[in-house]
Structure formats: C-alpha cells, structure tokens
C-alpha cells in the first residue's frame, strides 16, 4: 500500500492506495463479509425510496451509498464509502454541512430525475440538472460515482453525477478541474476535521491561468502550487514518472481543463484526500491483519514548498543553507532582512534592463514561476518564443509549454517571478531575461570555468605523476602504513602544498595558533601568502593509525563537495609530516559553543535549528547523493565546524568508510568512534551502516537542544545519560523541560518538540527502526505525522522525572569524553 501526500502547513492532500493479492470481487471475505442492512439496492427509481439503514451498492460491491455517522450518533450523513474497508472509508458526502439528528431521513428520486434528501418533510439536500429525465434511474458505479441517467441509456451520458461535485476525496478516473461549457469547477474542499465533514476553508484544484496550474488555497490565499503540466509531469514534481501501474492525464482545451489518473491494476484501491489541518491528522499505517491504510510519502516534501517563500525573483533550494537565494542578476531588496532570513520582500535587479540589448540565461531543474501573469502560444517553438519575448520589454522569462520529445509550444512570463523551487536534478529549463552587462559577466564566468576545468584536469595529471614519483622515493624502507599511502594516493587529484609554505602560514606551528586537538593530532590556524585563512590538521607521528586515517580522509573528502561538508584545500607529506589543509572555520567547532554556559548564549533557537538542518543535509549527501556512498562513523559535536555565518560543516573523515553497489552495511574488527555517539550494533558487534550515523545524529540533536553532552547526568544520584534523560521526559509528556535555558525565550515550541521527537526516532535501538537521513530532512521540514519512538539503547536504569530533576539548573555531569580507537570484537 502506498500514500502520496501533498500538504501545506495547515492543509494536506493525501493519495492513499491499497493493494491486495485477491481480486476486488473477493475482498468481502478479506474484510469480514458484508454488513447487516435492512435493504441493499442496486439502483433507485422514482417508485423507490431509501431510508436510514438501507444501502445502494455498486455492481461488484466495492462502494456503497449509505447513511452513517462520524463519532457523534446525533449527526447522520448520506454518503459514499468503500463497502468492505472499515477505516477512513468515506469518499463523498451529500449533506456535509447539514447533518441529520436522527434516523428518519428519506432519499427519493423524483420523476424529473432529481435525488432529494428529506428529513421531517424538509429538504436537506437535492441534485439539480438542466435536463429533465423521461425515465430516470440512480445507480452507484464501481468507480465510486453516483449517477442519474435515463434507464435505457447505454452510453456514459449522465443527467447528474457525484464526480462533478467532489467532497474532500478524489478517486481514480475523477476529473480535478473545469468543465468550461458548464462553467463547472471540480475541486476538493477539506472537511473541518476528521469527524466533521462540514466544508472547511481549504480547497485544492485547477486555476485557469493562461498556463493552468493546481493550487492549494485558503480562501483567496495561495498556500501551495503544484506547478503547471509540462507534457510529462507537473513542474513541481520531478519524481512523477511513467510507470506500469498509473497513467496520468492532463487535458487542456476549449471545453475542459482537468487532471486525472487511472490504474491498470484492478485490485489497486486508491484515493486522494484533502485534509483541513495537519494538527491531529490521521496516522496511516500498514497492518496485515486489518488491511488499513499506510502513509508512504507526502508533499510538500520540504520547507521550499510553501508558496512564495523566497519572494519575488528568489528561488528556494532545500540543499542550500539558507534555503533562499536570488536569481542570477538579482540581489536582495532589503539585505538586512534577507540576512535575518526574512525573504518575503524578495529580490530586485542589480543592473536594470534596457530592453534593446537584453538577452537570456538558462536555469535547469526548476519548478517554474507562478503562471498567473503568463501568455501561451502552442503554435510556435522555442526559438520563436525567444524572439517574441525579447521584443516585449515586460517579458521576463520563457520556455516550452511541452518539454516532451523535441519540445513544443511557448509560454512567457511577465512582471515579477515568484514561487520558484530548484531541484537537485531535473530536465526543466527556464530562460530568464538579463541585461547585456550580466550576459557578458555570465559568458566570462563560463569561459573562466572552462579554462579552470581544463587547467585543473591537466594540473591534476601532472600532480598525480609528481605525487607518485615523490612518494615512491619517500616510502623506501618505511612502514607498511606508508606503503598503503603509495598504493592508495597515486590517483588522488588534490593540490600538494610545500611544508615550508605551511610552516610560514602557521608561524612554525606556534602554540598561539593552536585551535584544536583530535584523536590523531593537533589543529592549527594559519594564513597563506594569498591571504586565505586555513586550518592545518597535523597528524601525530606517534599515532599508529595516523597514516591510515590520513589516506582515508584524503581519499574521501577530495571526492565530495557540499556546503555542509568542510572543504579540503590540499595536503602535504614531507619531512615525516602528514598534514591536511582545510578551509578555516571562524566560529570553531560546535561543542566549543553549545557545551559552554556563556558561549551557548550566542546560539538562539533559530540558529540551532539551522545547524540541525544543515548537518542533516550534509549527512544525506554523504549517504545518498555523493559519488561515493559514505558512512562517517564519528559524527559528534566536535566534528561539526561553524563558519562565519554559523553554517555547519561536517569534518574529520579519517574514520569514514565507503559502500559500493548495493551494499548497505559492513562489519569491522576495528571499532573507532566516540563513546556516547556510537550506535549499539556498531559498539557491540562492529556492524555499521548509514543508520549508525543516524544514531549519532540523533544524539547530536538532543545535545544541541539541551546544551549538554550525552553522558551521565546527576552522577551522584543515578546513571541516566542524556538520551535516557530525554526519553524519560518525552515519555511523560514533558519533553520541553529538557531544553537549554538559553533558548527558552527564542524557541518555537512546535519546532523544538518535533526535533526532540526526531532525535528519539534516530536513537532507537535497532537500525531498521531508525529513519534515513532523507526521512529526517522531510520530518524536520514539514508537519507530517511522526511515529512514536521505541525505547532507545544505552539506558541502564529507569527512574522518575521527579527524581532526576535538577532545580538548580547546573550541569552536574562529569567533564570527560572518551574516544575509542580500537576494540577487539569476538
């Protein structure tokens, strides 16, 4: 079973699917057999009427028209539901805003072909058709569509159908959109709550822009935009691809504009649901025993899906930190607000357009801008589109309407560009108008990048040759570890720095330049002759594992590039020294700030939340998006560095391991890492995977929130570490009492609560229970429902919250941290 979910901060659309090995006809037995009813009709004619307790079933028994209530027995509704599914089964409601308070209602089909629902001789609900019937009949089809037609009609000409008037649910074959001939807008309207089908404030449907789009709205306010149909998929859904199960259809002509889908699998049950609010929304889980719905995925998948988050002429990328940036040729309208992450005012042109000498630059992988102010011409192609846009001074961007095949059609945007999202990968190109000066700079940068790329490639070849030669001379008579270096480093395309250059940069490794100390050596600050500030990691000559970690770190970090990973500038191996040169991080390591009562005041909650999200993005890149699939194995606060804007960067890859192909886990007899951050399966059995890093990340989240290390707290009383401490408070519904007092005034309660919840999900004992980092980013950036965490590992004693409360606010924990470098595993 699968669910596709689309949501804003206050509303959501969910696509739920159920799949069974049995056929639809056999599902009655699967779900426990048919209900006991007074009468089960196959149709309604003017000579019949339906009372509360009667039903009208579809031919194969998949759907039924029935009277029902939702928790409150004094509020009765007439609606359509899945007949043999016991939960979340209602797909359409006739009288959502006018419930009936007893079971005396009657449904009739009158002679003119209208269904009329009455209660105590008052009309509660009725259908209306412009065409009168001669011999009407009402039937419920196996699609879930309640129709009124001529009894002898054999075609699909209906006098009225429920599919034209959706409630909060869309079924396969239904049309979401417009019948232009009848001026009929088929859109979903949310219920006020799960047990109140009164139409709510939120709608989801097609908006008839020149280039039609699908919006989620609260009244007239736009909350989310799906992006226009581009011939293959919706612009904001690059993951929407052809598959053997679902066929997607978007129709846009003079008579209709709508979206629909169908399934080729007759045993697949599916529906789309728009919910009013994400607060208290149902949790969808899969159960083999009762065949219940299960949550599979949802939208928005991240923070960037909020409508217009980055303002005019800005774009949002979830892999960036901060997520908003200005389009090329634009700059923040109010830099101070932009730097404080208030992006609502957007961006403005740096040099203005002059119309006569403008051109275009392309951006790839976008959800294209809001299509309200667009013009569409399906008769011309891309080149003609460019020429036309260039002649109209107010035309700001253009592209094909249909990107399938060679592409076709033309759409042009006028005025400000808003609600743009950049995806990591994508095939959608937008051509944005630029003044001549920006075009010259753009071409210069392209040429420069080309020259640098060619030069770098040639330089790397020469460096590799030189490096290989030099190293072969150095390793004669040296240790096996240095022989490893020769074998592994010949192919590394990394700049080599002279030892004399580093001596000058660090003032001969002066004590005043020492900025850190790790398990394999010291770290010094320095400045190259160019003025570039650097951090030099000097591996200890006495470390038996130093060469191995040096090789590993150079191999890995030279092959990864991400804004949340520290950048390796070069390395040096001369005069028995092994040196790694990194970009300098002005604010040092995370532990230097969060574990100090005074310095931690520099990190309010928004900064800490950004740090959490940045670390998550860096880890997801390592696990999923980098050329090498990397498990860090020593993620901790001291290995997270902060630049001058407090952007976090993961460092120290000496202990990292790579996976290839379909490998998902590994084993080792040499366990490395830091006690308190190591996952139990790794510390005990030497088994590691990306889920080992997830465990460490969970510990790190809790440390950032609490301002305390994951070690024994209140040692004099009990042996409860930070993870156990957080779990105990969370279990008693008092999780917010663990937060650092320095963030009490700045914290956003919902964000802090969600982060604690996510942290506890990450530190669950068994790897299969922990989320992936992609899941974590989704959880942090949305308001999706979260599973309850299971009791984490490394809890040796249980105690009450009262017994462990520290009213003084002091950290009574011990002041030590143990780094494990070797451990024999049986």
List binding-site positions for ATP.
Answer: 537
CA atoms of 767 and 695, how far apart (whole Å): 8
Q: Quick one: three-class SS letters along 218-245?
A: ECCEEEEECCCECCCCECCCCCCCCCCC
The label of the residue with tokens 């999200």 reads 613
DSSP 8-state class, residue 21: S
Find the radius of gyration of the CA atoms of the chain: 32
Of 797, 786, 779, the residue nearest 723 (C-alpha): 797
Residues contacting residue 759 through CB under 8 Å, at least 6 positions apart: 698, 699, 701, 702, 705, 726
Task: Please give the DSSP secondary-structure letter assigned to residue 621.
Answer: I
Is the distance from CB of 600 to CB of 560 less than 8 angstroms? no
Asked if residue 179 lies in contact with residue 255, where contact means CB atoms within 8 angstroms, the answer is yes
Q: Which stretch of DSSP H or E encloses residue 147?
A: strand 146-150
Which among 294, 299, 173 is positioned nearest to 240, based on CA atoms? 299
d(CA 285, CA 274): 18
Task: Give dist(CA 515, CA 582) in Å, integer.
Answer: 13
The values of phi and psi at residue 774, to 5°, are: -65, -40
Q: Write out 182-197 in H/E/C secondary structure.
A: CCEEECEEEEEECCEE
Place of tokens 């689309």: 6
Sign of CA dihedral 142, 213, 189, 3: positive
Give the residue ranges of the annotated binding site: 537
Q: What are phi and psi of 445, to 5 degrees?
A: -65, -40
- Burial call 419-457: b when 16+ CB within 10 Å, e when fewer: bbbbbeebebbbbbbbbeebbeebeeeeeeeeeeeeeee
Rounded CA separation 221/237 (Å): 22
Q: How many Å apart are CA 157 and CA 153, to the nearest integer?
A: 8
Residue 40 designated active-site: no
| Marked catalytic residue, from 302, 610, 634, 693 | 634
Give the active site residues.
634
């Amino acid at each position: 079973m699968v669910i596709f979910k689309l949501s804003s901060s206050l509303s959501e659309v969910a696509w739920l699917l159920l799949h069974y090995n049995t056929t639809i006809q056999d599902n009655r037995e699967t779900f426990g057999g048919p209900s006991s009813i007074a009468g089960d009709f196959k149709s309604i004619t003017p000579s019949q009427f339906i009372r509360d307790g009667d039903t009208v079933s579809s031919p194969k028994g998949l759907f039924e028209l029935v009277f029902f209530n939702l928790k409150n027995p004094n509020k009765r509704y007439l609606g359509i539901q899945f007949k043999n599914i016991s939960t979340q089964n209602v797909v359409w409601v006739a009288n959502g805003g006018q419930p009936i308070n007893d079971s005396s209602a009657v449904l009739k089909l009158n002679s003119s072909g209208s269904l009329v629902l009455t209660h105590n001789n008052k009309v509660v609900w009725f259908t209306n058709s412009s065409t009168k019937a001669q011999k009407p009949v009402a039937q419920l089809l196996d699609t879930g569509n309640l129709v009124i037609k001529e009894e002898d009609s054999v075609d699909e000409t209906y006098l009225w159908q429920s599919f034209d008037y959706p409630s909060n649910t869309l079924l396969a074959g239904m049309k979401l959109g417009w019948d232009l001939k009848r001026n009929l807008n088929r859109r979903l309207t949310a219920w006020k709550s799960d047990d109140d089908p009164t139409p709510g404030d939120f709608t989801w449907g097609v908006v008839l822009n020149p280039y039609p789009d699908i919006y989620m709205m609260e009244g007239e306010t736009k909350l989310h935009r799906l992006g226009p149909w581009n011939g293959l998929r919706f612009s904001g859904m690059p993951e929407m691809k052809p598959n053997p199960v679902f066929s997607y259809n978007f129709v846009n002509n003079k008579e209709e504009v709508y979206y629909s889908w169908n399934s080729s699998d007759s045993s697949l049950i599916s529906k789309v649901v728009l919910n009013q609010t994400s607060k208290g929304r149902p949790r969808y889980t899969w159960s083999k025993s009762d065949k219940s719905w299960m949550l599979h995925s949802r939208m928005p998948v991240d923070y960037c899906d909020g409508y217009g988050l980055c303002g005019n002429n800005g774009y949002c990328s979830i892999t960036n930190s901060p997520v908003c940036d200005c389009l090329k040729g634009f700059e923040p309208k109010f830099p101070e607000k932009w730097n404080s992450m208030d992006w609502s005012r957007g961006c403005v042109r740096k040099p203005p357009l002059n119309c006569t000498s403008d051109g275009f630059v392309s951006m790839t992988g976008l959800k294209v801008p809001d299509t309200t102010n667009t013009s569409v011409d399906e008769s011309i192609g891309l080149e003609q589109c460019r020429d036309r846009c260039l002649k109209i001074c107010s035309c700001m961007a253009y592209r094909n309407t249909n990107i399938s095949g060679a592409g076709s059609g033309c759409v042009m945007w006028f005025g400000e560009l808003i609600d743009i999202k950049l995806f990591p990968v994508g095939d959608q190109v937008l051509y944005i108008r630029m003044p001549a000066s920006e075009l010259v700079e753009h071409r210069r940068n392209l040429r420069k990048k080309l020259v640098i790329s060619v030069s770098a490639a040639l330089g790397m070849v020469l460096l590799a040759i030189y490096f290989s030669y030099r190293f072969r001379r150095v390793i004669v008579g040296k240790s096996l570890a240095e022989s490893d270096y020769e074998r592994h480093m010949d192919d590394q395309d990394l700049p080599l720095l002279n030892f004399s250059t580093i001596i000058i940069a660090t003032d001969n490794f002066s004590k005043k330049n020492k900025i850190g100390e790790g398990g394999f050596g010291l770290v010094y600050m320095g400045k190259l002759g160019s003025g570039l500030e650097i951090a030099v990691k000097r591996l200890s000559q006495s470390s038996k594992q130093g060469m191995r970690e040096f090789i590993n770190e150079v191999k890995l970090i030279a092959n990864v590039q991400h804004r949340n990973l520290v950048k390796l500038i070069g390395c040096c191996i001369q005069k028995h020294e092994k040196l790694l040169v990194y970009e300098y991080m002005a604010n040092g390591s995370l532990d230097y700030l969060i574990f100090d009562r005074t310095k931690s005041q520099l990190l309010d909650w928004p900064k800490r939340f950004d740090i959490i999200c940045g670390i998550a993005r860096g880890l997801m890149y390592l696990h999923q998006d980098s050329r090498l699939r990397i498990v860090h194995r020593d993620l901790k606060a001291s290995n997270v560095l902060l630049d001058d804007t407090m952007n976090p960067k993961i460092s120290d890859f000496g202990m990292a391991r790579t996976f290839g192909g379909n490998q998902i886990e590994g084993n080792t007899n040499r366990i490395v890492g830091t006690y308190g951050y190591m996952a139990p399966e790794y510390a005990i059995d030497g088994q590691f995977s990306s889920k080992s890093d997830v465990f460490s990340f969970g510990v790190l989240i809790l440390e950032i929130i609490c301002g305390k290390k994951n070690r024994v707290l209140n040692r004099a009383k009990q042996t409860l570490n930070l993870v156990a401490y957080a779990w105990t408070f969370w279990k008693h519904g008092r999780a917010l009492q663990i937060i650092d007092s320095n963030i009490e005034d700045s914290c956003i309660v919902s964000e802090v609560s969600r982060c604690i919840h996510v942290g506890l999900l990450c530190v669950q004992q068994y790897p299969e229970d922990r989320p992936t980092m992609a899941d974590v980013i989704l959880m942090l950036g949305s308001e999706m429902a979260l599973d309850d965490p299971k009791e984490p590992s490394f809890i040796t004693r249980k105690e009450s919250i009262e017994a462990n409360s520290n009213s003084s606010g002091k950290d009574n924990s011990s002041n030590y941290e143990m780094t494990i470098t070797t451990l024999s595993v049986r």
